[in-house]
Amino acid sequence: MEEAEKLKKLKGTTTVGLICSDGIVMAADKRATMNYFIANKDVQKIFEIDTHLGMTIAGAVGDAQALVRLLQAEAQLYKLDKGRPMPVKAATTLFANLLNQYKFAPFFVQLLVGGVDTAPRVYNLDPFGGVTEEKFVSTGSGSLTAYGYLEEAYKEERPIRENLRVAAKAISIAIRRDAGTGDAIDLVSIGKDGFRRYSKDEVKRLLEAKEKE
């Protein structure tokens, strides 16, 4: 029970992952909290692992950053050894096995690992190594609010350019309703042109654009 309570306190964030017809979209807020204290207003929660592979983090910052560095290194070693990029499922399995090994002293994180190999893929990992493959998913303290919007607005068959606004809007709604989510929106896509991060101005224009039916 004590570990579960710690985990709840460390999930002050909202992240989103969406499968699109031509790739994936990931989004997150940029606020870091320590209980009721806003520790930082510009924290990166979406990371490029390789040009075809990314991950989002929710939870303890130190744990998450250590796992990001590990996967970045493993992805490069895999590419050197195999002569090809690490598949998204292989990266997810690597993390799942690691998290499961530490389940009695867990990393306080919830992760989304996503990218494009033979197809677009997004996986949700819990702190104990459980994995589910998702079409659309949200993690963190604002996830319930985000899901309320995603259930109605998300369409899998839409391309990246149409699902970008959906992901950004889900985070903006969570920012308005969840104290652990806030300050700015980080938005990323992974498609045929690789990993792309969108500027604040681009995100602003997406949110101001009329929603396509």
The confidence band for 10, taking pLDDT boundaries of 50, 70 and 90, is very low
Amino acid 59: pLDDT: 79
Check whether 4 has a pLDDT greater than 50: no
The confidence band for 166, taking pLDDT boundaries of 50, 70 and 90, is very high
Q: How far apart are CA 95 and CA 67, in angstroms?
A: 8
Q: Where are the domains of the chain?
A: 2-208
Check whether 8 has a pLDDT greater than 60: no
The confidence band for 2, taking pLDDT boundaries of 50, 70 and 90, is very low
Q: What SS3 string covers the chain?
A: CHHHHHHHHCCCCCEEEEEECCEEEEEEECCEEECCEEEECCCCCEEEEECCEEEEEEECHHHHHHHHHHHHHHHHHHHHHHCCCCCHHHHHHHHHHHHHHCCCCCCCEEEEEEEECCCEEEEEECCCCCEEECCEEEECCCHHHHHHHHHHHCCCCCCHHHHHHHHHHHHHHHHHHCCCCCCCEEEEEEECCEEEECCHHHHHHHHHCCCCC
Q: What is the pLDDT of the chain when averaged over all its residues?
A: 86
**18-43 residue pLDDT tens:** 999 999 999 998 876 666 666 566 67
Q: Please give the CATH superfamily to which domain 2-208 belongs.
A: Aminohydrolase, N-terminal nucleophile (Ntn) domain (3.60.20.10)
Q: Which residue has the higher pLDDT, 37 or 61?
A: 61
Compute the average pLDDT of residues 134-157: 92
**90-128 residue pLDDT tens:** 999 999 998 888 877 777 888 999 999 999 999 999 888
**44-60 residue pLDDT tens:** 889 999 999 999 988 77
Compute the average pLDDT of residues 51-76: 90
- CA distances to 48, 78, 117, 132 from 81, in Å: 20, 5, 17, 28
Whole-model pTM? 0.88
13 is catalytic: yes
Instruction: List the catalytic residue out of 13, 14, 15, 56.
Output: 13
